[in-house]
Chain A
């Protein structure tokens, strides 16, 4: 099932790529017809999010979330961005910036399945663990 959604998404994405609007309209209608025949209409939401994912990777785009105690300046964001370029090979970063006073200082960076904890709160927690030992 999971593979099927992925395959649907990939097929639709490749079919509509570089096509003009009227053509896309026909393609999408046909695709929905196919889904209906295969009893797959309930998967439509999952397929849509898959298409977004595929679009992101095709365009070398990465979505990342950064949490900090106060607003980050352009320089810090730039540094984080260049780190992500190196780490993931993505050319563009779409940021979701969050402000959380509990972080105290530093940042928590989230991208894909990875969390990078560079925050003061995280370090204090680690120190507390060390002392407990």
Chain B
């Protein structure tokens, strides 16, 4: 006991010895008005745009950021508890532009948009700070997307492939599995040397807690940072959350690493910004959003990029999420974000309730740059898959009326039914690219045609297990070489016929 006391005394002595007193100069102002999350402050004549300030309250300092500079007044967004701030309270300028701590110390942690830990695992020790607002990398630093980012979801990796540095929107109504897709993608990055940042904007804390448990169980928290501005956080915190998350991602980008960042979701972000803008008396436009709501998202998503070799070769892949109301994807914010991103994954309620999960609408979903990033083996099978899916959709609508169909149509319909069955996939069960290639290859080559539709899921599961046990080398070859050589095709043919030989419903 006395030893620790001595130690503490020594430490205090040391810090007193090193302490240098200097005259503290402060630029101050006084609060004249406080509204929800926004304070009007007189004074602070020398303050700069988006400079951090501190409010003096009875419960200690509360942070704030200058958003509006006017002739005799400064509009300040309060980043924290604004209940303690009184009229006339002293506001001190810090001289620093809004910044967050970044670095390796943030991996595996849950932080608020100011970078303060909220997971109860102790302080985050980091001496590096990045500005929250930053201009996106310019044209000479960039390179076109060419490496795949495997989501582990069959339907996405085959038809709507995503590349590193791409911005792919996930859009759909509530409760259709938008977050689930993003979380699956994060889980699938395990062992792929990708750092993940999950930004929860206005989400229920209970939902985030269950996501955290899932990520921890899957071992994904070893490479993931969660930035949380919950549903009860003030609008300014929601507003800064994605930019703060992006700043944390940019640290790894500058280290030449690949980063995946999920913004869940940007509709709530836009609503938070609308709230701030209206309190600041900025003129409202369509749907009462301020005029710069497009710039709000474009400047955020533009920060996702693939850098070329001279600039480190890192990338930030962004998966923004937008929640639509009753399938209305022509509302203001959805159309904005659709036009900003490099494609969208559209989730549909009808498909979801028919049991097709993930409920991805293959017709409306697109990826504008990702196909350049697919591995060769996948490219080979994916082309046919896309064609089969399109033909099936067309025929299925038409075939509802007539029972008299020719053999070719019948065969196409049967194939399509099996394809959609293969697209079904459970949550938190991402597949490696080699497994996907093997399954799709057997489908387009007709090996699944004589298996009953209701047995497809079971067959796929068994076939994958059989491959991993008896033909592990084939999977490895696909993973390593990335090509579907004649030798691999021969082995796959052997594998599928061998496995089919063990199925009693086929023998009988």
Residues of A within 8 A of B (CB): 2-3, 6, 112-118, 122-123, 126-127, 130-131, 133
Residues of B within 8 A of A116 (CB): 23-26
Of all chain A residues, the one with the shortest Cβ separation from B47 is A113
Residues of B within 8 A of A112 (CB): 45
Residues of A within 8 A of B19 (CB): 126-127, 130
Q: Which of B26, B71, B72, B73 contacts A115 (CB 8 A)?
A: B26
User: Are A114 and B24 touching (Cβ within 8 A)?
Assistant: no
User: Are B24 and A117 touching (Cβ within 8 A)?
Assistant: yes
User: Are B72 and A2 touching (Cβ within 8 A)?
Assistant: yes
Total interface residues in chain B, CB < 8 Å: 20
Interface presence of B12 (CB below 8 A): yes
A2 CA to B26 CA in the complex, in Å?
26
User: Are B29 and A114 touching (Cβ within 8 A)?
Assistant: no
A116 CA to B22 CA in the complex, in Å?
10
A131 CA to B15 CA in the complex, in Å?
6
Interface presence of B326 (CB below 8 A): no
- Report A56 CB to chain B, min CB distance, Å: 15
Q: A3-B71, A131-B12, A131-B16 are in contact. Are A113 and B46 (CB under 8 A)?
A: yes
Of all chain A residues, the one with the shortest Cβ separation from B71 is A2
Residues of B within 8 A of A127 (CB): 16, 19, 21
- Report B242 CB to chain A, min CB distance, Å: 31
- Report A54 CB to chain B, min CB distance, Å: 14
A2 CA to B10 CA in the complex, in Å?
56
Interface presence of B287 (CB below 8 A): no
Most chain B CB within 10 A, of A114, A116, A127, A133, is at A114
| 10 pairs of A and B residues whose beta carbons are closest in the complex | A117-B24, A123-B21, A115-B26, A113-B43, A2-B71, A2-B72, A118-B23, A113-B45, A116-B25, A113-B27
Interface presence of B394 (CB below 8 A): no
User: Are B27 and A114 touching (Cβ within 8 A)?
Assistant: yes
User: Are A115 and B28 touching (Cβ within 8 A)?
Assistant: yes
A130 CA to B400 CA in the complex, in Å?
77
Q: Which of A6, A113, A122, A131 contacts B24 (CB 8 A)?
A: A122
Of all chain B residues, the one with the shortest Cβ separation from A127 is B19
Residues of B within 8 A of A2 (CB): 70-73
- Report B232 CB to chain A, min CB distance, Å: 29
Residues of B within 8 A of A3 (CB): 71
Interface presence of B44 (CB below 8 A): yes
User: Are B71 and A113 touching (Cβ within 8 A)?
Assistant: no
Within 8 A of A (CB), among B29-82: 29, 43-46, 70-73
- Report A129 CB to chain B, min CB distance, Å: 10
- 19 contacting pairs across A/B (C-beta < 8 A): A2-B71, A2-B72, A6-B72, A112-B45, A113-B46, A114-B25, A114-B27, A115-B25, A115-B26, A115-B27, A116-B23, A117-B23, A126-B24, A127-B21, A130-B15, A130-B16, A130-B19, A131-B12, A131-B15
User: Are A6 and B71 touching (Cβ within 8 A)?
Assistant: yes
Residues of B within 8 A of A133 (CB): 15
Residues of A within 8 A of B43 (CB): 113
Of all chain B residues, the one with the shortest Cβ separation from A112 is B45
- Report B37 CB to chain A, min CB distance, Å: 22
Residues of A within 8 A of B26 (CB): 114-117
Residues of A within 8 A of B72 (CB): 2, 6
Residues of B within 8 A of A131 (CB): 12, 15-16
A113 CA to B93 CA in the complex, in Å?
10
Residues of B within 8 A of A117 (CB): 23-26
A123 CA to B23 CA in the complex, in Å?
8
Residues of B within 8 A of A126 (CB): 19, 21, 24
- Report A121 CB to chain B, min CB distance, Å: 11
Within 8 A of A (CB), among B218-267: none
User: Are A113 and B29 touching (Cβ within 8 A)?
Assistant: yes
Residues of A within 8 A of B73 (CB): 2
A100 CA to B25 CA in the complex, in Å?
19
Residues of B within 8 A of A114 (CB): 25-28
